[in-house]
Structure 1
Amino acid sequence: MSDSFKDILPHTEAGVMTITLNRVDKKNSLTAAMYAAMADALEAAQADAAVRVVVIQGHETIFSAGNDIGDFLNKPPAGMDSPVFRFLRGIATFPKPLLASVCGPAVGVGTTMLFHCDLVYAGDNAAFSMPFVNLGLCPEAASSLLVPQMLGYHRAAEALLLGEPFMAEAALEVGLVNRVVPPMEANGVAQSVARKLAAKPISSLVETKRLMKKGQQQMVLQQMDEEGASFGRMLGEPAAREAFGAFMQKRRPDFSKV
């Protein structure tokens, strides 16, 4: 069994596909193989008429620490057909209801993917952060567009420029999550709502989602492309090299000369 099939567990039951991040020993940090597995699962869910709803979930202690830095440095995204961009486009264009259950840290893409979900349920231990600037990089997943839209510019600037965590109650206040519950209950709540949605007419669900997202989907995809180009360029620049070098050497980065 390949690592991607151990680390990403898709399971379909009663019209609901659940995609479980299952690399808890590595804080559910995401590798290229995991992105590919998630992209494949979304494509399969879109094509399968028996799948009416998708839920992405982690563990009650951790949703995702973001990219696996070692894997990311060894296999940086090579163009817009790379696994990470396949996954990001997949969640941005997924036509059926897409839910997430988030407990513990949700770092980087662990947070930005949520802006593409229709419903998000969080444990009261959830901590959301987008520390791209701290890595010498820029936002991804169209978060430079979607975060200001949801949070307002000043709170978005605080989240994206400082990159510091904000907790579940703050996420509830700005509308990033629908409900905050005890961590042991979050996955169950998301599953319960998913089953409720799966019992509704799929044509109505899909058309309602299409109409809600129609006005900005092209903007989202364009923003993803622009962010991706900037992200790839910045990945080879001195600030990112210093940030990743400091991470691997377990020291504080020094940006005074970059």
Structure 2
Amino acid sequence: MTTEDVLLTADTDGVRTLTLNRPKSYNSLTVELKERLLDALRAAAAEDTVRAVVLTGAGKAFCAGQDLKEHVGLLQAGDSAPLRTVAEHYNPIVRTIVRMPKPVISAVNGSAAGAGAAFAYASDLRIAATSASFLMAFANVGLGPDSGASWTLQRLVGYGRAAELMLLARTVDAEEALRIGLVGEVVPEGELAERAQQVAARLAAGPTAAYARIKDVLTTAAESTLDEALAAEDAAQAALGATADHSEAVEAFVAKRPPNFTGA
């Protein structure tokens, strides 16, 4: 494991775990942390040895969103950086998570608020500890959502529920998050890291080329017509049918043995 102050990076069995590491500030997002996270996500996307990614937080919180102390301090100092952070940091981070050609799992420990919650929404899978909670509090400070939450949240829970959570700025605990489909699984606090690694390791051992195309066609279908979605599926199947992983899966099925996927 290498420590980069505000971000921890660990690699195990093809899984790269990125841990937001400002526990005393509930992993709130400073400029430094946002830049480190964006660089780390882009590196994970580009490295063939990384086959799945886990995003989590150190301490008692997943991520409290924007570090408001830094935000206010920069504005008071006449620095315009806070006004550019959506375009320069949050939007690229979410694009990188959504377009990552490999699965991304958010292991949500404690509070996930604002942009922090949005990062979890953008992930492919969300596993929550019993202590987890989600909050979209933008309306409380006279702002609208950012970090892609307007796009991701309603695709998880529907327009009506997303509007309720954003307009009323209501906290969702782990039990409700599971019930409304915001997360896929809730586990005891002490089992979160292990469970996230188990799921990520399973994905890392799978047909990652297929996972990349599955993510791609799902994103395409979310913003296209039926005919466009069918065309994207057709193109994906044609490409994947020529992969070594598909051939291996067919041979393994005939031989009645587990397939050995390489991502090729």
| Fold match by TM threshold 0.5 | yes
In structure 2, the CA distance between the partners of 1:87 and 1:146, relative to structure 1 (3 Å rule), is closer
- 2:232 maps to none
Task: Give the one of 76, 86, 92 matched to 1:86.
Answer: 92
**Cα pair 1:61 1:183 within 8 Å, conserved:** no
Q: Return the alpha-carbon distance in structure 2 between the equivalents of residues 79 and 64 of structure 1.
A: 17
Whether the 8 Å CA contact 1:102–1:123 is kept in 2: the answer is yes
Structure 1 residue 127: Cα displacement:
1.1
Q: State whether residues 77 and 84 of structure 1, in contact with CA within 8 Å, keep that contact through their aligned partners in structure 2.
A: no
- Greater Cα offset, 71-80 or 48-57: 71-80
How many angstroms apart in 2 are the aligned matches of 1:21 and 1:27?
9
Q: Is the 8 A contact 1:32 1:84 kept in 2?
A: no
Q: Distance in 2 between matches of 1:165 and 1:214?
A: 30
Code of the residue aligned with 1:45 in structure 2: it is A
Q: Distance in 2 between matches of 1:84 and 1:200?
A: 30
Q: Which residue of 1 aligns with 2:54?
A: 55
Give the corresponding residue for 2:212: 206
Cα distance in structure 1, aligned partners of 2:86 and 2:109: 30
The aligned runs of 1:32-181 (5 Å cut-off) are 32-59=31-58, 61-73=60-72, 74=74, 75-78=81-84, 82-181=88-187
**Within the alignment, does 1:16 sit opposite 2:15 as a pair?**
yes
Cα displacement (A) at 1:161? 0.5
TM-score by length of 2: 0.76
| Post-superposition offset of 1:82 | 1.6
* Higher relative contact order structure (alpha carbons within 8 Å, sequence separation ≥ 6): 1
Gap runs ≥5 in structure 2: 75-80, 225-264
Cα distance, 1:154 vs structure 2: 2.7
Identity of aligned residues (%): 36
How far residue 137 of structure 1 moved from its aligned partner, in angstroms, is 0.6
- Rate the CA distance shift 1:81–1:155 in 2: closer, same or farther, 3 A: closer
Q: Is the 8 A contact 1:36 1:86 kept in 2?
A: no
What secondary structure, in the 3-state scheme, does the structure 2 residue paired with 1:176 have? coil
Partner of 2:243: none
Q: Distance in 2 between matches of 1:175 and 1:108?
A: 18
The alignment of Structure 1 onto Structure 2 pairs a total of residues equal to 215
How far is the alpha carbon of 1:121 from its aligned partner? 0.6
Once residues 147 and 81 of structure 1 are traced to their aligned partners in structure 2, the CA distance between those partners, rounded to angstroms, is: 19
For the Cα contact (< 8 Å) 2:65–2:115, is it kept in 1?
yes
Output the aligned Cα RMSD: 1.9
Contact kept? 2:127, 2:196, Cα under 8 Å: yes
Give CA-to-partner distance per residue, 1:211-237, whole Å, 9 cap, x none: 22222369xxxxxxxxxxxxxxxxxxx
Segments of 4+ moved more than 3 angstroms: none
> 1:40 Cα deviation (Å)?
0.5
Mapped partners of 1:67, 1:12: distance in 2: 27
Q: What is the CA-CA distance between 1:201 and the residue it aligns to?
A: 2.0
**Cα distance in 1 for residues equivalent to 2:30 and 2:85:** 16
* CA 213–85 in structure 1, closer or farther in 2 if over 3 Å, else same: closer
- In structure 2, how many angstroms separate the alpha carbons of the residues matched to 1:60 and 1:6? 14
Q: How far apart are residue 56 of structure 1 and its match?
A: 0.1
Q: Please list every run of 5 or more consecutive structure 1 residues that lacks an aligned counterpart in the other structure.
A: 219-258
Distance between the aligned counterparts of 1:178 and 1:77, measured in 2?
A: 34
Amino acid at match of 2:194: G
TM-score scaled by structure 1?
Answer: 0.78
Matches within 5 A, 1:239-254: none
Matches of 1:217 and 1:52 in 2, distance apart?
26
- Closer, same or farther: CA 217–28 of 1 in aligned 2, 3 Å: farther
